[in-house]
Amino acid sequence: MRLDIFTLFPEMFPAVLGHSIVGRARRRGHLQLCVHQLRDFSPDPRGRVDGTVFGGGKGMLLAAEPFAQGLDQLGEHLGLRPHILYMSPRGPVLNQKTARRLAEKPALAILCGHYEGVDQRLLDEYEVEEVSIGDYVLTGGELPAMILADAVSRMLPGVLADESCFTDESHFSGLLEYPQYTRPEVWRGRAAPEVLLSGHHGKIEAWRREQSLAVTQRNRPDLYQAWLKNQGQGT
């Protein structure tokens, strides 16, 4: 996948997206990531990218044109128009299903807002999909963009060692993940559940399923109810 990010703070990205699994995905060519300085696309000679809000209101708004210039140049360079996302607390909240859908796109462009946001006409003109990472407000779209890039990258074919890495984990099946244990068998007087040391795969599977259901019901009753409803529909 090709992933382009437009931001006023490109230097925030390498530490997070240059290491671990995403860093390896880039080195192996599963992900081609380019982070662009938004000011480079400003028509203003001093690189201004913002303006006051029409109609009044506090703070400054990012203008449409620098993003538009960046996206047009990118489209020409790639020979295709990437699917465009704008990180915003106003969008639908990111979940695993969205990450999986976005991972199927050949090219994504993520726009990072700052200040009071961006001119609405940019979002309308480029049919931008708004995405939130949760019901709270951050100072900018950079951290949300990194989170989205991480969640999408790990779903790309070949990035994780094998598919069970994500088919077993929280949110894939609509349930949260069961608890897991490693050495030593007894730690500070707490023994790992005996069934996990039994070697009996059927019993281990059944225990894990039971635990997944219990943890989902306890921590996320909303997900549990949705899962129950799905079961009723035979899916």
Other Cβ atoms less than 10 A from the Cβ of 41: the count is 20
- The site map against ligand ADE for 142-181 (x = CB under 6 A) is --x-------------------------------------
Q: Which stretch binds ligand ADE (CB under 6 A): 44-52, 131-139, 151-159, 210-218?
A: 131-139
Specify the DSSP element, H or E, that contains 7.
Answer: strand 2-7
Q: Which stretch binds ligand ADE (CB under 6 A): 11-19, 128-136, 183-191, 193-201?
A: 128-136
Contact status: 132 vs ligand ADE (CB under 6 A): yes
At position 147, the amino acid (one-letter code) is I
- The structure tokens listed for 170 are 């929280």
How many residues of this chain bind ligand ADE (CB under 6 A)? 11
Contact status: 92 vs ligand ADE (CB under 6 A): no
Q: Which residues contact 179 (CB under 8 A, 6 or more apart)?
A: 211, 215
Name the residue nearer to ligand ADE (CB basis): 66 or 113: 113
Give the separation between CA 77 and CA 32, rounded to whole angstroms: 14
Burial class (CB in 10 A: 0-12, 13-18, 19+), 17: buried
User: Tokens 């099946």 identify what position?
Assistant: 173
Name the residue nearer to ligand ADE (CB basis): 132 or 173: 132
Contact status: 136 vs ligand ADE (CB under 6 A): yes
- The structure tokens listed for 46 are 């001093």
Interacting residue ranges for ligand ADE, rule: CB under 6 A? 87-89, 132-134, 136-138, 141, 144
